[in-house]
Amino acid sequence: MRRWGLSRWLLLAGLLFLYAPMLSLMVYSFNESKLVTVWSGFSVKWYFELFRDQQLIDAAWVSLRVAFYTACATVVLGTMAAMALTRLRSFPGKTLFGAMITAPLVMPEVITGLSILLLFVAMNDWLGMGQSRGIGAIWAAHVTFTLAFVTVVISSRLSELDRSLEEAAMDLGANRVKVFFVITLPIIAPALVAGWLLGFTLSLDDLVIASFVSGPSSTTLPMKVFSSVRLGVSPKINALATLMILVVSAAALIGWWLLSREEKRRQRDMQRALQQGE
């Protein structure tokens, strides 16, 4: 009786609330009618229409490239920041560093977008660089705001790590750099994968910051979607949304499965090691 208490039913209702809109979006992408909410028959014509829209495909390509480079750079910088925050007792300006790392987690996007754009404008003024504000500019802005999320993911893993493994390696004569690459890195690898995926999706998703930062020459996919949604609902956007939901869900599920498998294996290894130690 208590197993299916009130809170379970509320959880179920909450999940329904989270998933129903996405499901309706997907169902109506197969609608033949141009009126998105009146069902008139099954059709995949909107998908064909989608792939004929060259502007949309170009924008998707820009977004994917930016997201890839963002994820790579963020994981490297995020690992460094997480190591600094969890491993170093104190260094000059640690408080400021911690504040700068966590603040973007909650910073309203309009502020981040505006401030980074003004930085590029000022750089252009003083140094004469950054004028065209293309992919590189969007990349720099995305690395800045995703760094916070990725650092949190990696440092939470680092702080759970059993330090005795690293200490043992050091006792055996390995230097810190070697310990990091041989011991620490393999253990936190799942968090790095999770951080990479997080950076990738956050970058792929961003509308506001990219709108501020990008020059007229580069348009990302969310910017394109936003401008077409402003003109009203369109089944083509439903088709695009369905593809995005499917791809992201598949990637997230695979990532999750890999992570939980890795976690189980790690726990089993730990248990075995402990049993042997006794």
State which of positions 12-71 bind another protein (CB under 8 A): 14-15, 17-19, 21-22, 24-25, 28, 35-38
From residue 64, alpha-carbon distances to 60, 67, 220 in Å are 6, 5, 9
By CB under 8 A, name the one of 104, 134, 136, 215 that touches another protein.
104
Looking at residue 153, its amino acid is V
Q: Is 130 in the site for another protein (CB under 8 A)?
A: no
> Rounded distance, CA 72 to CA 195, Å?
10
Distance of closest approach, residue 276 Cβ to another protein, in angstroms: 25
Q: Closer CB to another protein, residue 48 or residue 181? A: 181
Q: Identify the sign of the CA torsion 133, 135, 137, 142.
A: positive
Instruction: Identify residues 219-278 at the interface with another protein (CB under 8 A).
Output: 222, 225-226, 229-230, 233, 237-238, 240-241, 244-245, 248-249, 252-253, 256, 260
- Asked whether 226 and 239 are in contact (CB, 8 A), the reply is no
- Asked whether 151 and 78 are in contact (CB, 8 A), the reply is yes
By CB under 8 A, name the one of 40, 48, 125, 271 that touches another protein.
125
Q: 31: which strand partners?
A: 42
By CB under 8 A, name the one of 116, 169, 188, 192 that touches another protein.
116
Which among 142, 77, 62 has a CA at the least distance from the CA of 109? 142
Q: Closer CB to another protein, residue 58 or residue 97? A: 97
Binding segment toward another protein, per CB under 8 A, in 3-11, 42-50, 53-61, 268-276 = 3-11
Distance of closest approach, residue 44 Cβ to another protein, in angstroms: 19
> Rounded distance, CA 84 to CA 82, Å?
5
Chain-centroid distance, C-alpha 169: 33
By CB under 8 A, name the one of 72, 119, 165, 193 that touches another protein.
119
